Amino acid sequence: MERVVIVGGGAAGIRVAQALAKNLTEADDTEVIVLEKNSYFYHVIGAPRAYVDGDYTNKMFIPYDNAIPKHAAKFVRIVRGVATHVSADTNEVSYHLIGTDDKESETTEKLKFDYLVLATGSTYS
């Protein structure tokens, strides 16, 4: 089985996962894993609208639970964690899981990949 690991579930990362979910089937024998630190997508472009329209505020944070179509749930999944290292030599991403308590685990987990998409987005300085 081939594995695609997508680091980052922002606009680009989740769009890649959705495109793969649309175009792959279970018969393709490919697993897609999105590694994302948040449990929701933050719609940053909508911030100015939410500032002037209080009713829009609840649309600013979109849970990842519904990001992937139900038919693809067997081969596309979202793992809540923080990538800490990528090894091109071993094709592995090291990461720390984030629990339901929003705390980052100290235990390092590893994901092997055949294809890697780095979509970590930007940060404010």
DSSP class of 89: T
Q: How confident is the model at residue 83 (pLDDT cuts 50, 70, 90)?
A: very high
Q: How many domains does the chain have?
A: 1
**Reported confidence tier of residue 60, pLDDT bands at 50, 70, 90:** confident
- Give 66's pLDDT tier (boundaries 50, 70, 90): confident
Provide mean pLDDT across the span 77-98.
98
Residue 93: inside a domain:
yes
Rounded CA gap, 110 and 125, in Å?
29
Is residue 124 domain-resident?
Answer: no
Assign residue 114 the CATH number of its domain: 3.50.50.60
Read off the amino acid at residue 94: S
CA dihedral sign, ordered 101, 58, 65, 34: negative
123 part of a folded domain: no
Q: How far apart are the first and last CA of the chain?
A: 40
Looking at 16-20, 50-54, 79-83, 105-109, which range is the least confident one? 50-54
